[in-house]
Structure 1
Amino acid sequence: MFLAHIAVVFGALYSVYAFPSSVQKRAVDFFNPVTTGGSMLDNAGSGGGEPLNVIISGLSSPAVLTDDGIINYAKAIRFSTECLGQHLGDPQSANLGDGNGPVNQTVELREDFGDPNLGTCLESLIGGNHFRIFRQNGPTANSGALFLAVSKEEDLSQQHTIVPDGYNIGRNELVNNALGTTSFGGVSYTTVAKNITGLLAPGSTGVNHGIATDGITTLLVVTIN
Protein backbone atom coordinates (compact mmCIF):
# COMPACT_ATOMS: atom_id res chain seq x y z
CA MET A 1 0.00 0.00 0.00
CA PHE A 2 2.82 2.37 0.92
CA LEU A 3 4.68 1.60 -2.32
CA ALA A 4 1.53 2.18 -4.35
CA HIS A 5 1.06 5.55 -2.68
CA ILE A 6 4.67 6.52 -3.47
CA ALA A 7 4.15 5.51 -7.11
CA VAL A 8 1.06 7.72 -7.41
CA VAL A 9 2.89 10.71 -5.92
CA PHE A 10 5.93 10.16 -8.15
CA GLY A 11 3.72 9.85 -11.20
CA ALA A 12 1.96 13.11 -10.39
CA LEU A 13 5.27 14.93 -9.93
CA TYR A 14 6.57 13.48 -13.20
CA SER A 15 3.53 14.69 -15.10
CA VAL A 16 4.01 18.22 -13.74
CA TYR A 17 7.77 18.57 -14.14
CA ALA A 18 8.83 16.29 -16.97
CA PHE A 19 7.40 18.39 -19.80
CA PRO A 20 7.26 22.00 -18.58
CA SER A 21 7.65 23.56 -22.00
CA SER A 22 4.65 21.72 -23.47
CA VAL A 23 2.49 22.64 -20.47
CA GLN A 24 3.49 26.30 -20.77
CA LYS A 25 3.05 26.22 -24.53
CA ARG A 26 -0.61 25.27 -24.17
CA ALA A 27 -1.31 27.74 -21.35
CA VAL A 28 -1.93 31.02 -23.23
CA ASP A 29 -2.85 32.43 -26.62
CA PHE A 30 0.39 34.44 -26.73
CA PHE A 31 2.58 36.75 -24.67
CA ASN A 32 2.67 40.45 -25.53
CA PRO A 33 6.18 40.98 -26.97
CA VAL A 34 6.30 44.63 -25.93
CA THR A 35 6.11 43.90 -22.20
CA THR A 36 9.40 41.97 -22.32
CA GLY A 37 11.44 44.14 -24.65
CA GLY A 38 10.13 42.92 -28.00
CA SER A 39 8.07 44.63 -30.67
CA MET A 40 4.86 44.14 -32.64
CA LEU A 41 6.73 45.41 -35.72
CA ASP A 42 9.28 43.21 -37.41
CA ASN A 43 12.54 44.60 -38.82
CA ALA A 44 12.21 45.10 -42.56
CA GLY A 45 15.81 46.29 -42.85
CA SER A 46 14.86 49.73 -44.18
CA GLY A 47 14.42 51.66 -40.97
CA GLY A 48 10.84 50.51 -40.54
CA GLY A 49 8.93 47.35 -39.75
CA GLU A 50 5.91 45.42 -40.91
CA PRO A 51 3.10 45.03 -38.35
CA LEU A 52 2.58 41.59 -36.84
CA ASN A 53 -1.11 41.89 -37.51
CA VAL A 54 -2.27 38.26 -37.19
CA ILE A 55 -1.45 35.81 -34.39
CA ILE A 56 -2.19 32.09 -34.53
CA SER A 57 -2.90 31.25 -30.92
CA GLY A 58 -0.73 28.94 -28.85
CA LEU A 59 -4.02 27.31 -27.84
CA SER A 60 -4.51 26.05 -31.39
CA SER A 61 -4.11 22.34 -32.11
CA PRO A 62 -0.39 21.60 -31.53
CA ALA A 63 0.07 20.08 -34.99
CA VAL A 64 -0.94 23.38 -36.60
CA LEU A 65 1.93 25.20 -34.88
CA THR A 66 4.72 23.03 -36.34
CA ASP A 67 6.61 24.00 -39.51
CA ASP A 68 4.87 21.34 -41.62
CA GLY A 69 1.55 21.98 -39.91
CA ILE A 70 1.42 25.70 -40.61
CA ILE A 71 2.32 25.15 -44.26
CA ASN A 72 -0.53 22.64 -44.66
CA TYR A 73 -2.89 25.06 -42.91
CA ALA A 74 -1.72 27.87 -45.18
CA LYS A 75 -2.61 25.74 -48.20
CA ALA A 76 -6.08 25.24 -46.72
CA ILE A 77 -6.56 29.03 -46.72
CA ARG A 78 -5.17 29.66 -50.23
CA PHE A 79 -1.48 30.31 -49.51
CA SER A 80 1.56 28.22 -50.37
CA THR A 81 5.36 28.16 -50.45
CA GLU A 82 7.20 30.45 -52.82
CA CYS A 83 7.41 29.91 -56.57
CA LEU A 84 9.69 26.92 -57.28
CA GLY A 85 11.19 27.40 -53.82
CA GLN A 86 12.90 30.63 -54.85
CA HIS A 87 12.91 33.67 -52.56
CA LEU A 88 13.90 37.19 -53.59
CA GLY A 89 15.05 39.66 -50.98
CA ASP A 90 16.52 39.29 -47.53
CA PRO A 91 14.55 37.65 -44.72
CA GLN A 92 13.04 39.92 -42.11
CA SER A 93 13.49 39.41 -38.37
CA ALA A 94 11.34 39.98 -35.29
CA ASN A 95 11.92 40.17 -31.56
CA LEU A 96 8.92 38.56 -29.88
CA GLY A 97 10.13 39.31 -26.35
CA ASP A 98 10.64 35.61 -25.64
CA GLY A 99 14.34 35.74 -24.78
CA ASN A 100 15.55 34.72 -28.23
CA GLY A 101 16.17 38.29 -29.40
CA PRO A 102 15.69 39.11 -33.09
CA VAL A 103 15.06 35.93 -35.10
CA ASN A 104 14.63 35.63 -38.87
CA GLN A 105 11.26 34.64 -40.27
CA THR A 106 10.50 30.93 -40.22
CA VAL A 107 9.00 31.00 -43.71
CA GLU A 108 7.27 33.33 -46.16
CA LEU A 109 4.06 32.18 -47.83
CA ARG A 110 2.20 33.69 -50.75
CA GLU A 111 -1.32 33.68 -52.16
CA ASP A 112 -1.69 30.69 -54.47
CA PHE A 113 -4.90 31.60 -56.37
CA GLY A 114 -6.26 28.10 -55.82
CA ASP A 115 -3.18 26.26 -57.12
CA PRO A 116 -0.87 25.23 -54.24
CA ASN A 117 1.80 23.98 -56.66
CA LEU A 118 2.31 26.86 -59.09
CA GLY A 119 -0.12 29.57 -57.97
CA THR A 120 2.52 31.50 -56.05
CA CYS A 121 4.43 31.99 -59.31
CA LEU A 122 1.43 34.02 -60.48
CA GLU A 123 1.50 36.03 -57.24
CA SER A 124 5.17 36.80 -57.85
CA LEU A 125 4.20 38.30 -61.23
CA ILE A 126 0.91 40.10 -60.58
CA GLY A 127 1.14 40.70 -56.82
CA GLY A 128 -1.26 39.62 -54.12
CA ASN A 129 -1.34 38.66 -50.47
CA HIS A 130 1.57 37.20 -48.54
CA PHE A 131 2.80 36.73 -44.98
CA ARG A 132 5.91 36.03 -42.93
CA ILE A 133 5.84 33.75 -39.88
CA PHE A 134 7.67 34.24 -36.58
CA ARG A 135 7.39 31.73 -33.72
CA GLN A 136 7.26 32.78 -30.03
CA ASN A 137 9.11 29.94 -28.32
CA GLY A 138 11.96 31.43 -26.29
CA PRO A 139 12.79 30.64 -22.67
CA THR A 140 10.97 33.64 -21.18
CA ALA A 141 7.74 33.53 -23.23
CA ASN A 142 7.17 30.10 -24.71
CA SER A 143 3.60 30.37 -25.95
CA GLY A 144 4.25 28.53 -29.20
CA ALA A 145 2.11 31.16 -30.94
CA LEU A 146 2.84 32.15 -34.53
CA PHE A 147 3.03 35.87 -35.26
CA LEU A 148 2.27 36.76 -38.88
CA ALA A 149 3.24 39.90 -40.78
CA VAL A 150 0.53 39.98 -43.45
CA SER A 151 0.35 42.43 -46.33
CA LYS A 152 -0.90 42.78 -49.89
CA GLU A 153 1.76 43.72 -52.43
CA GLU A 154 2.03 45.20 -55.89
CA ASP A 155 3.20 43.28 -58.96
CA LEU A 156 6.78 42.57 -60.02
CA SER A 157 7.07 45.79 -62.03
CA GLN A 158 6.50 47.73 -58.78
CA GLN A 159 9.16 45.66 -56.94
CA HIS A 160 6.47 44.09 -54.75
CA THR A 161 6.00 47.25 -52.68
CA ILE A 162 2.94 47.25 -50.42
CA VAL A 163 -0.33 48.50 -51.91
CA PRO A 164 -2.02 51.50 -50.25
CA ASP A 165 -3.60 50.30 -46.97
CA GLY A 166 -1.95 46.97 -47.76
CA TYR A 167 -1.37 45.85 -44.16
CA ASN A 168 -5.03 46.16 -43.20
CA ILE A 169 -6.19 44.70 -46.54
CA GLY A 170 -3.80 41.76 -46.32
CA ARG A 171 -4.85 40.92 -42.77
CA ASN A 172 -8.53 41.10 -43.59
CA GLU A 173 -8.22 38.94 -46.70
CA LEU A 174 -6.27 36.25 -44.83
CA VAL A 175 -8.77 36.20 -41.98
CA ASN A 176 -11.73 35.99 -44.36
CA ASN A 177 -10.10 33.00 -46.07
CA ALA A 178 -9.45 31.31 -42.73
CA LEU A 179 -12.77 31.68 -40.90
CA GLY A 180 -14.97 28.63 -40.52
CA THR A 181 -14.05 25.20 -41.85
CA THR A 182 -11.26 24.66 -44.39
CA SER A 183 -9.21 21.65 -45.42
CA PHE A 184 -6.13 20.50 -47.29
CA GLY A 185 -4.20 17.26 -47.58
CA GLY A 186 -6.83 15.29 -45.72
CA VAL A 187 -6.74 17.63 -42.71
CA SER A 188 -9.82 19.67 -41.78
CA TYR A 189 -9.60 22.86 -39.70
CA THR A 190 -12.02 25.11 -37.85
CA THR A 191 -10.84 28.68 -37.30
CA VAL A 192 -12.34 31.35 -35.08
CA ALA A 193 -11.10 34.94 -34.87
CA LYS A 194 -11.02 37.80 -32.41
CA ASN A 195 -9.79 41.34 -33.05
CA ILE A 196 -7.44 42.81 -30.44
CA THR A 197 -6.49 46.44 -29.95
CA GLY A 198 -3.65 47.80 -27.84
CA LEU A 199 -0.88 45.62 -29.22
CA LEU A 200 -0.18 47.73 -32.29
CA ALA A 201 -0.39 51.52 -32.26
CA PRO A 202 -2.65 52.83 -35.04
CA GLY A 203 -0.97 55.07 -37.58
CA SER A 204 2.25 54.92 -39.56
CA THR A 205 4.95 55.58 -36.93
CA GLY A 206 7.75 53.08 -37.47
CA VAL A 207 5.81 51.20 -40.14
CA ASN A 208 7.58 50.17 -43.33
CA HIS A 209 6.77 52.38 -46.35
CA GLY A 210 4.94 54.80 -44.00
CA ILE A 211 1.65 53.00 -44.59
CA ALA A 212 -0.78 53.60 -41.73
CA THR A 213 -2.60 50.75 -40.02
CA ASP A 214 -5.77 50.68 -37.94
CA GLY A 215 -3.94 49.15 -34.97
CA ILE A 216 -5.93 45.91 -35.01
CA THR A 217 -4.31 42.51 -34.54
CA THR A 218 -6.48 39.49 -35.29
CA LEU A 219 -6.08 36.40 -33.10
CA LEU A 220 -6.88 33.08 -34.78
CA VAL A 221 -7.53 29.88 -32.86
CA VAL A 222 -7.18 26.94 -35.27
CA THR A 223 -8.51 23.52 -34.32
CA ILE A 224 -7.97 20.33 -36.27
CA ASN A 225 -11.33 18.58 -36.59
Structure 2
Amino acid sequence: MTATDIPTPVTLDRREGPYGEVVLRERGDDFEIIANGCFLMDTSDGRSERLLIDAALGALPDGRPDPAVLIGGLGVGFSLVRAAAGPRWGRIAVVEREQAIVDWHLEGPLARISGAALADPRTEILRTDLVTYLHTTTERYDALCLDIDNGPDWTVTEDNGTLYSPSGLAACRERLTPGGVLAVWSAQPSEAFEEALRNAGFHAVRTEEVAVARGVPDVVHLALRAN
Protein backbone atom coordinates (compact mmCIF):
# COMPACT_ATOMS: atom_id res chain seq x y z
CA MET A 1 0.00 0.00 0.00
CA THR A 2 1.39 3.39 -0.99
CA ALA A 3 0.88 6.60 0.95
CA THR A 4 -1.81 7.65 -1.51
CA ASP A 5 -3.73 4.43 -0.78
CA ILE A 6 -4.02 5.11 2.96
CA PRO A 7 -7.52 6.43 3.75
CA THR A 8 -7.77 9.91 5.21
CA PRO A 9 -8.97 9.80 8.83
CA VAL A 10 -12.37 11.28 9.64
CA THR A 11 -12.92 12.69 13.14
CA LEU A 12 -16.13 11.24 14.61
CA ASP A 13 -15.94 12.82 18.06
CA ARG A 14 -13.61 15.09 20.00
CA ARG A 15 -13.90 15.66 23.76
CA GLU A 16 -12.07 17.75 26.34
CA GLY A 17 -11.96 15.97 29.70
CA PRO A 18 -10.13 16.26 33.00
CA TYR A 19 -7.09 14.49 31.51
CA GLY A 20 -7.00 16.39 28.22
CA GLU A 21 -8.37 15.78 24.74
CA VAL A 22 -9.57 12.42 23.41
CA VAL A 23 -10.52 11.89 19.79
CA LEU A 24 -12.26 9.05 17.96
CA ARG A 25 -11.36 8.81 14.28
CA GLU A 26 -12.46 6.52 11.49
CA ARG A 27 -9.89 5.54 8.88
CA GLY A 28 -11.37 3.32 6.20
CA ASP A 29 -12.78 0.29 8.01
CA ASP A 30 -10.92 0.99 11.25
CA PHE A 31 -11.35 3.22 14.29
CA GLU A 32 -8.54 5.06 16.08
CA ILE A 33 -8.31 6.62 19.54
CA ILE A 34 -6.03 9.62 19.99
CA ALA A 35 -5.30 11.11 23.44
CA ASN A 36 -3.66 14.53 23.73
CA GLY A 37 -2.37 14.15 20.20
CA CYS A 38 -0.81 10.74 20.97
CA PHE A 39 -1.98 7.71 18.98
CA LEU A 40 -3.18 5.09 21.46
CA MET A 41 -4.68 2.23 19.49
CA ASP A 42 -6.86 1.25 16.58
CA THR A 43 -8.97 -1.67 15.44
CA SER A 44 -6.65 -2.82 12.64
CA ASP A 45 -5.14 -5.78 14.50
CA GLY A 46 -5.82 -6.52 18.18
CA ARG A 47 -3.52 -9.54 18.56
CA SER A 48 -1.50 -8.03 21.38
CA GLU A 49 -4.63 -6.87 23.24
CA ARG A 50 -5.98 -10.41 23.06
CA LEU A 51 -2.61 -11.77 24.15
CA LEU A 52 -2.86 -9.57 27.25
CA ILE A 53 -5.88 -11.60 28.36
CA ASP A 54 -4.79 -15.02 27.11
CA ALA A 55 -1.31 -14.80 28.63
CA ALA A 56 -2.71 -13.73 32.01
CA LEU A 57 -5.18 -16.60 32.04
CA GLY A 58 -2.51 -19.06 30.99
CA ALA A 59 -0.21 -17.92 33.81
CA LEU A 60 -2.80 -18.51 36.54
CA PRO A 61 -2.52 -21.67 38.65
CA ASP A 62 -4.51 -24.56 37.19
CA GLY A 63 -7.87 -25.25 38.74
CA ARG A 64 -8.57 -21.78 40.11
CA PRO A 65 -12.36 -21.46 39.83
CA ASP A 66 -13.97 -18.39 38.24
CA PRO A 67 -10.92 -16.09 38.42
CA ALA A 68 -11.64 -12.37 38.60
CA VAL A 69 -9.86 -10.07 36.16
CA LEU A 70 -9.38 -6.32 36.25
CA ILE A 71 -8.78 -4.78 32.82
CA GLY A 72 -7.11 -1.38 33.00
CA GLY A 73 -8.27 0.63 30.00
CA LEU A 74 -11.31 -0.04 27.82
CA GLY A 75 -9.62 1.24 24.65
CA VAL A 76 -11.20 -0.13 21.49
CA GLY A 77 -12.59 -3.06 23.46
CA PHE A 78 -10.47 -5.96 22.21
CA SER A 79 -9.25 -7.04 25.67
CA LEU A 80 -12.76 -6.94 27.14
CA VAL A 81 -14.18 -8.87 24.20
CA ARG A 82 -11.48 -11.53 24.59
CA ALA A 83 -12.16 -11.90 28.30
CA ALA A 84 -15.93 -12.13 27.83
CA ALA A 85 -15.43 -14.78 25.12
CA GLY A 86 -13.73 -17.03 27.66
CA PRO A 87 -16.06 -19.06 29.88
CA ARG A 88 -13.40 -19.53 32.56
CA TRP A 89 -13.34 -15.92 33.75
CA GLY A 90 -15.64 -14.99 36.60
CA ARG A 91 -15.92 -11.27 37.32
CA ILE A 92 -14.65 -8.99 34.53
CA ALA A 93 -14.10 -5.44 35.78
CA VAL A 94 -12.92 -2.73 33.38
CA VAL A 95 -11.48 0.55 34.67
CA GLU A 96 -11.83 3.48 32.25
CA ARG A 97 -11.38 7.12 33.28
CA GLU A 98 -12.44 8.74 30.00
CA GLN A 99 -16.21 9.16 29.85
CA ALA A 100 -15.96 9.70 26.10
CA ILE A 101 -14.49 6.25 25.53
CA VAL A 102 -17.21 4.64 27.64
CA ASP A 103 -19.84 6.55 25.63
CA TRP A 104 -18.33 5.43 22.31
CA HIS A 105 -18.78 1.83 23.44
CA LEU A 106 -22.20 2.13 25.05
CA GLU A 107 -23.93 4.24 22.42
CA GLY A 108 -21.40 5.04 19.72
CA PRO A 109 -19.54 3.39 16.84
CA LEU A 110 -17.47 1.08 19.07
CA ALA A 111 -20.62 -0.67 20.29
CA ARG A 112 -20.39 -2.93 17.25
CA ILE A 113 -17.16 -4.32 18.72
CA SER A 114 -17.97 -4.53 22.42
CA GLY A 115 -21.76 -4.60 22.66
CA ALA A 116 -22.10 -8.30 23.50
CA ALA A 117 -19.18 -8.19 25.96
CA LEU A 118 -20.65 -5.19 27.77
CA ALA A 119 -23.98 -7.00 28.04
CA ASP A 120 -22.29 -10.03 29.62
CA PRO A 121 -23.49 -10.26 33.26
CA ARG A 122 -19.89 -10.79 34.41
CA THR A 123 -18.82 -7.39 33.03
CA GLU A 124 -18.67 -4.23 35.12
CA ILE A 125 -17.36 -0.82 33.99
CA LEU A 126 -15.64 1.20 36.73
CA ARG A 127 -15.52 4.84 35.66
CA THR A 128 -12.46 5.99 37.53
CA ASP A 129 -8.73 6.52 37.19
CA LEU A 130 -6.80 3.24 37.31
CA VAL A 131 -3.90 4.53 39.43
CA THR A 132 -6.29 6.03 41.97
CA TYR A 133 -8.39 2.88 42.04
CA LEU A 134 -5.41 0.61 42.68
CA HIS A 135 -4.35 2.74 45.65
CA THR A 136 -7.80 3.07 47.21
CA THR A 137 -9.85 -0.07 46.60
CA THR A 138 -9.80 -3.10 48.87
CA GLU A 139 -10.92 -5.43 46.07
CA ARG A 140 -8.58 -8.21 45.00
CA TYR A 141 -8.32 -9.86 41.62
CA ASP A 142 -6.71 -12.99 40.25
CA ALA A 143 -5.38 -11.06 37.26
CA LEU A 144 -4.61 -7.43 36.47
CA CYS A 145 -4.44 -6.79 32.72
CA LEU A 146 -3.25 -3.22 32.26
CA ASP A 147 -3.19 -1.28 28.99
CA ILE A 148 -3.54 2.45 29.65
CA ASP A 149 -0.36 3.71 27.98
CA ASN A 150 1.96 2.89 25.12
CA GLY A 151 4.12 1.23 27.76
CA PRO A 152 6.00 1.93 30.99
CA ASP A 153 8.38 4.27 29.15
CA TRP A 154 5.72 6.10 27.09
CA THR A 155 2.76 7.23 29.17
CA VAL A 156 -0.31 9.10 27.95
CA THR A 157 -0.24 11.55 30.87
CA GLU A 158 2.53 12.27 33.35
CA ASP A 159 0.53 10.98 36.32
CA ASN A 160 0.31 7.53 34.71
CA GLY A 161 4.04 7.14 35.27
CA THR A 162 3.41 6.40 38.95
CA LEU A 163 1.76 3.11 37.93
CA TYR A 164 5.18 1.74 36.97
CA SER A 165 6.98 3.18 40.01
CA PRO A 166 7.77 1.14 43.15
CA SER A 167 4.65 2.49 44.88
CA GLY A 168 2.46 1.74 41.87
CA LEU A 169 3.76 -1.80 41.49
CA ALA A 170 3.31 -2.34 45.23
CA ALA A 171 -0.33 -1.30 44.82
CA CYS A 172 -0.71 -3.77 41.95
CA ARG A 173 0.75 -6.53 44.08
CA GLU A 174 -1.66 -5.75 46.93
CA ARG A 175 -4.62 -5.90 44.59
CA LEU A 176 -3.73 -9.44 43.50
CA THR A 177 -4.74 -12.63 45.24
CA PRO A 178 -1.86 -14.97 46.20
CA GLY A 179 -0.48 -16.45 43.01
CA GLY A 180 -2.26 -13.80 40.93
CA VAL A 181 -0.81 -12.46 37.70
CA LEU A 182 0.05 -8.93 36.58
CA ALA A 183 0.04 -8.43 32.80
CA VAL A 184 1.12 -5.08 31.33
CA TRP A 185 0.86 -4.20 27.62
CA SER A 186 3.67 -2.23 26.00
CA ALA A 187 4.54 -1.05 22.50
CA GLN A 188 8.13 -2.13 23.09
CA PRO A 189 10.10 -4.43 25.40
CA SER A 190 11.61 -2.91 28.56
CA GLU A 191 14.34 -4.68 30.48
CA ALA A 192 14.23 -1.87 33.04
CA PHE A 193 10.56 -2.59 33.72
CA GLU A 194 11.25 -6.31 34.09
CA GLU A 195 13.84 -5.44 36.72
CA ALA A 196 11.37 -3.08 38.42
CA LEU A 197 8.86 -5.94 38.65
CA ARG A 198 11.43 -8.18 40.34
CA ASN A 199 12.42 -5.40 42.72
CA ALA A 200 8.74 -4.96 43.61
CA GLY A 201 8.55 -8.55 44.83
CA PHE A 202 7.07 -10.24 41.76
CA HIS A 203 8.47 -13.51 40.47
CA ALA A 204 8.29 -15.56 37.25
CA VAL A 205 8.80 -12.30 35.35
CA ARG A 206 8.78 -12.79 31.59
CA THR A 207 7.81 -11.04 28.35
CA GLU A 208 5.71 -12.33 25.44
CA GLU A 209 6.04 -10.65 22.05
CA VAL A 210 3.73 -10.04 19.10
CA ALA A 211 5.53 -9.19 15.86
CA VAL A 212 4.37 -6.08 14.01
CA ALA A 213 4.78 -5.14 10.36
CA ARG A 214 7.47 -2.55 11.09
CA GLY A 215 9.63 -1.76 14.10
CA VAL A 216 9.96 -3.45 17.48
CA PRO A 217 7.29 -5.94 18.59
CA ASP A 218 4.38 -5.22 20.90
CA VAL A 219 4.83 -7.07 24.18
CA VAL A 220 3.02 -8.20 27.30
CA HIS A 221 5.04 -8.14 30.51
CA LEU A 222 3.96 -10.90 32.92
CA ALA A 223 4.71 -11.33 36.61
CA LEU A 224 3.23 -13.35 39.48
CA ARG A 225 2.53 -12.44 43.06
CA ALA A 226 4.02 -14.95 45.49
CA ASN A 227 1.63 -17.22 47.38
Could you tell me the TM-score, scaled by structure 2's length?
0.30
Query: Which structure is higher in RCO with an 8 Å CA cutoff and minimum separation 6?
Result: 1
Structure with the bigger percentage of strand: 2
Could you tell me the TM-score, scaled by structure 1's length?
0.30
